A and B are shown apart, each in its own frame.
Chain A
Amino acid sequence: MKKIVSLLLAAAMMLMVAGCGGGTEPKSSGSGSGSGAKQMTMGFSQIGAESEWRTANTESIKQAAKDAGVKLIFSDAQQKQENQIKAIRSFIAQGVDIIAFVPIVETGWDTVLKEAKDAKIPVIVVDRDVKLGDDSLYVAKIGTDSVAEGHKVFKWLDEYMTKQHKQPKDGSQFQVAILEGTVGSSPALRRQQGFKDEMAASSNAGKYNIIASQTGEFTRQKGQEVMESFLKSYGNKIDVLFAHNDDMALGAIQAIEAAGMKPGKDITIVSIDGVKGIFQAMIDGKSNCTVECNPLQGPLLMETAKKILAGQKVDKLVYVEEGVFPSDKAAEVLPSRKY
């Protein structure tokens, strides 16, 4: 048994050495794929397919690899870190040019990333965050900026209220109700923080007041139930609803309708994500704006990977572009939405 293990280890190390050669001289090591000797090989470990958003994320990366002429070795970890670590080890063994992965959890990556570094294979962290003792273990992080999403929500809101000449229902301040995401989850914390920071920094800070903020757990049902309760408690006082994701906003819209009010008119609604359902609601005039949380990270990933391999300097933190879609743009944007 011991012999087999040591044999396997030896074999793996040999491969790693081979991979090392491939990594340092990507141009000369013909991967045998014919004419394009320059073709880059990327090992990519996705966490799974738990939502439409994640599926769009995967599709984007696969498509971008095809478009950029990158050979993508795709591995689905099925929500398990050990599968991801295995996948990364096998990428090292196969001697890919670059490794990218969406970390399922933040910790526990030091050893395997050290192995990649020793094999001189650059690593890109995609979409989620990692906590490492040594930040040089990865070259770049690509993802969405939840704090900036919160900023954009308030910025849009303030502009909209001014432009529409909206008046606070109670005569003094706009009352904002917030549906938070799952307690303790990083998007919920950061979106809330972004919104509040931007509000505090704004010159119109005095015009807004957060009247209620409660978790709706990112689901439609809870969003509806909590909004129902907000409406009973604060009735006609609420001017604005900010939902940390679109699904909660969709639930809240139904609660507002049930209370005999007009969502999007009596209460201004803004949410984050940009799923198809909210675009439909905006076309129907029931919601006002969504700030995108963009899963289409493929093109940026490929671009960054190419820069790294070409020896160019890249920023340690690269954010994808995230749009703001007010309701008047909804009808024209909906057909092109991928998730």
Chain B
Amino acid sequence: MNWKRITSSSLFLPLLALFALLLFNVIFVDGFLSIQMTEDGRLYGRLIDILNRSSSLIVLSLGMTFVIATSGIDISVGAVVAISAAVVCTLIGGRGDGVAEHPMALAILAAVAIGVLCGIWNGFLVARLKIQAVVATLILMTAGRGIAQLLTAGQIITVYYKPFSYISGTIPGNVLPTNIFIAAAMVLLVGFIMKKTSIGLFVQAVGINATASKYAGISVSLVLFVVYAFSGFCAGVSGLIESSLIRAADANNAGLNMEMDAILAVALGGTLLSGGKFYIGGSVIGAITIQTLTTTMYALGIASDQLPVIKAIAVVVLCLIQSKKCQALVASWKENRHGGSAGKTVEKA
């Protein structure tokens, strides 16, 4: 009875996948679980790495979850990450003596604001002009990297200003990298809002049937607008984390293909790409699973060019598990087998 309740929980399958992966690591990777304390008082180990590196994807997949729940999609987030990274790094400046040209708080605010602005642009195209989400966000996806290149003048801007590295690094005196807290705070905030307001219900309603929602009195275009703006906001924050990780803005590579990882994280989390019901917790677990996969590949010494193939296999398997047809097939196969063995026992008797 209790077991059934656990297995039917929306988080069961994503968690199962993550645990299977972790178990695999524990068996095959030496010292996978070991966490040490460094001399300057930071925690150090593979598990910390996974959390540290997945935090930007977690933030990104939060925004993506809502977009997908409205049966939309936002493929521009990777490029927006690059823009946000370019903004924060150009504002702080790449001075070798480690002095910031503009206050860091201002740079951070500007980077996030640019992210929101990009989101608003997407929202305008989708909600107002009724352009299909893939096409609308494709515009920024292709143009965004160009904008980032323009901002950095085609160069990789390295920031030597020390506090900038604290965003994805550890603030002295703390034990964990700051970006883990940023991601956790955003997840908690979103969870809180979902619990206390009916925004989640509106998003879901729009995703299931926009026309019906409209007749039910929901402002569909407002919901879409907010959802895309939030996705932009998340991409802005993600850009901060990404650029702080390498302390530089690399317009060519920052956030490259991250939109696909974010969509994958959402899908792994059990949210259907057709929209409707969505699972924030599932997306977070999905994001961590993807990073764990990458880390596993490196730990095992598999070349990263093979990683996409393994990711693809994981996606296929998970999509199969989620499909109704497949579940029905498995159920009927089980029944047959039961029926068959029952028949045999009868024969024997």
Question: A and B: real partners?
Answer: yes
- Using a CB–CB distance below 8 Å, which chain A residues touch chain B? 49, 51-52, 55, 183-184, 212, 214-215, 217, 219-222, 224-226, 228-229, 232-233, 247, 250-251, 254, 258-260, 277, 280
B305 lies within 8 A of A220 (CB): no
Q: Is B323 an interface residue (CB 8 A)?
A: no
Given A183-B303, A183-B305, A258-B44, output 14 extra A-B contacts at Cβ < 8 Å.
Answer: A51-B154, A51-B252, A52-B155, A217-B304, A220-B250, A220-B253, A221-B250, A221-B253, A229-B46, A232-B299, A233-B30, A247-B250, A259-B44, A277-B156
A260 lies within 8 A of B44 (CB): yes
Q: Which of B40, B248, B305 contacts A215 (CB 8 A)?
A: B305
Interface mask (B23-41 → A, CB under 8 Å = 1, otherwise 0) = 0000000110000001110
Per CB-CB distance, the 10 closest pairs between chain A and chain B, nearest first, are A229-B298, A183-B305, A219-B253, A260-B38, A220-B246, A232-B46, A221-B246, A215-B304, A277-B158, A52-B155
Report the minimal beta-carbon distance from A311 to chain B, rounded to whole angstroms.
41
> In the assembly, what is the distance between CA of A247 and CA of B169, in Å?
19
B169 lies within 8 A of A214 (CB): no
A219 lies within 8 A of B250 (CB): yes
Residues of A within 8 A of B253 (CB): 219-221
Residues of A within 8 A of B44 (CB): 258-260
Residues of B within 8 A of A250 (CB): 158, 246, 248
Residues of A within 8 A of B158 (CB): 250, 277, 280
B248 lies within 8 A of A220 (CB): yes
Residues of B within 8 A of A260 (CB): 38-40, 44
Q: Which of A219, A220, A225, A277 contacts B53 (CB 8 A)?
A: A225
Interface bin, chain B? 20 to 34
- Using a CB–CB distance below 8 Å, which chain B residues touch chain A? 30-31, 38-40, 44-46, 49, 53, 96, 154-156, 158, 169, 242, 245-248, 250, 252-254, 294-295, 298-299, 301, 303-305
Residues of A within 8 A of B254 (CB): 221
Q: Which of B39, B49, B53, B301 contacts A214 (CB 8 A)?
A: B301
Residues of B within 8 A of A183 (CB): 303-305
B154 lies within 8 A of A52 (CB): yes
> In the assembly, what is the distance between CA of A259 and CA of B248, in Å?
19
> In the assembly, what is the distance between CA of A138 and CA of B39, in Å?
61
Residue of A nearest to B169 (CB): A258
Residues of A within 8 A of B156 (CB): 52, 220, 247, 277
> In the assembly, what is the distance between CA of A293 and CA of B149, in Å?
23
Residues of B within 8 A of A217 (CB): 304
Residues of B within 8 A of A51 (CB): 154, 252
> In the assembly, what is the distance between CA of A55 and CA of B152, in Å?
14
Q: What are 22 residue pairs bridging A and B, where the CB atoms are less than 8 Å apart in the complex?
A: A51-B154, A51-B252, A52-B156, A214-B301, A215-B303, A215-B305, A217-B304, A220-B253, A221-B246, A221-B253, A225-B53, A225-B298, A226-B304, A229-B49, A229-B295, A229-B298, A232-B45, A232-B49, A233-B301, A247-B250, A260-B38, A260-B39
B303 lies within 8 A of A214 (CB): yes
Given A52-B155, A232-B46, A254-B246, the answer on whether A222 and B40 have CB atoms closer than 8 Å is no
Residues of A within 8 A of B298 (CB): 214, 225-226, 229
Given A221-B245, A232-B299, the answer on whether A49 and B154 have CB atoms closer than 8 Å is yes
> In the assembly, what is the distance between CA of A220 and CA of B96, in Å?
18
Residues of B within 8 A of A52 (CB): 154-156
> In the assembly, what is the distance between CA of A222 and CA of B245, in Å?
11
Report the minimal beta-carbon distance from A288 to chain B, rounded to whole angstroms.
19
Q: Which of A222, A224, A251 contacts B304 (CB 8 A)?
A: A222
Residues of A within 8 A of B30 (CB): 233
Residue of B nearest to A275 (CB): B156
> In the assembly, what is the distance between CA of A247 and CA of B298, in Å?
19
Residue of B nearest to A221 (CB): B246
> In the assembly, what is the distance between CA of A108 and CA of B248, in Å?
38
> In the assembly, what is the distance between CA of A260 and CA of B45, in Å?
12
> In the assembly, what is the distance between CA of A219 and CA of B242, in Å?
13
Report the minimal beta-carbon distance from A81 to chain B, rounded to whole angstroms.
21
Residues of A within 8 A of B304 (CB): 183, 214-215, 217, 222, 226
A254 lies within 8 A of B45 (CB): no
Residue of A nearest to B254 (CB): A221
> In the assembly, what is the distance between CA of A280 and CA of B246, in Å?
15
Residues of B within 8 A of A219 (CB): 250, 252-253
Residue of A nearest to B246 (CB): A220
Residues of A within 8 A of B169 (CB): 258
